[in-house]
Amino acid sequence: MSLHDDVRGRIRDVPDFPKAGIVYKDITPVLQCPKMVARITDWLAKMSPANVDVIVGIESRGFLFAAALCEKLDASFVPARKAGKLPWETIATSYALEYGEATLEMHRDAIQPGDRVLIVDDLLATGGTANAARTLACELGGEVVGALFLVELAFLHGRDALAVPVHSLVTY
């Protein structure tokens, strides 16, 4: 069975989470299979652009994949977190979610001018969170060269918000 089919077969739908009308794509069953996580990490490395300096992992499940990918790409890890979660001086941007609003922060010294930046998260929906991470990386002088996702909800057109090459393993 292909990686795509294996992953898709493990993702479970959770209706009405985090609020009524949303069907949450739960990747927890995927994470419970170490060999599958290793295969996903290999796929992410294969889909990554060349010469990435920094991998921005988006809170919280994006951290898992971004951190695993750092070793394979010899790149540093930068967390993009919800407001108030980072201990150092930050920059921030607010954005709309498919079910509300949020603010994303990054440390001021996380990305250096000219760094080639890859954004990694578990899910691409409307693109608001990933675009916020892209905005912060660019504000710090980084060049965002791509974005990788385990799951994409294509009917929400999130990739249109990013203006960078986007790859997703499973698309709904």
Strands 100-107 and 90-97: antiparallel
Class of domain 49-171: alpha beta
pLDDT at residue 118, as a whole number: 99
Please determine, for residue 99, whether its predicted confidence score (pLDDT) is greater than 80: no
Q: How much is the pTM?
A: 0.95
Please determine, for residue 97, whether its predicted confidence score (pLDDT) is greater than 90: no
Chain centroid to CA 33: how far? 20
Please determine, for residue 101, whether its predicted confidence score (pLDDT) is greater than 90: no
- The ranges assigned to domains in the chain are 49-171
pLDDT, averaged across the chain: 96
Contacts of 56 (CB under 8 A, 6+ apart): 66, 78, 79, 80, 106, 111, 117, 118, 119, 120, 133, 137
Q: Give catalytic residue positions.
A: 61, 98
| For residues 68-88, average pLDDT | 97
DSSP-assigned letters across all residues of the chain: --HHHHHHHH-EEEET-SSTT-EEEE-HHHHT-HHHHHHHHHHHHHHSPSS--EEEEETTHHHHHHHHHHHHHT-EEEEEEETT--SS-EEEEEEEETTEEEEEEEETTSS-TT-EEEEEEEEESSSHHHHHHHHHHHHTT-EEEEEEEEEE-GGG-GGGGT-S-EEEEEE-
pLDDT at residue 98, as a whole number: 62
The CB-based long-range contact list for 24-29 (8 Å cut-off, 24+ gap) reads: 25/123, 25/151, 25/153, 25/172, 27/61, 27/122, 27/123, 27/150, 27/151
pLDDT, tens digit, for every residue of 121-146? Answer: 999 999 999 999 999 999 999 999 99
Burial class (CB in 10 A: 0-12, 13-18, 19+), 106: buried
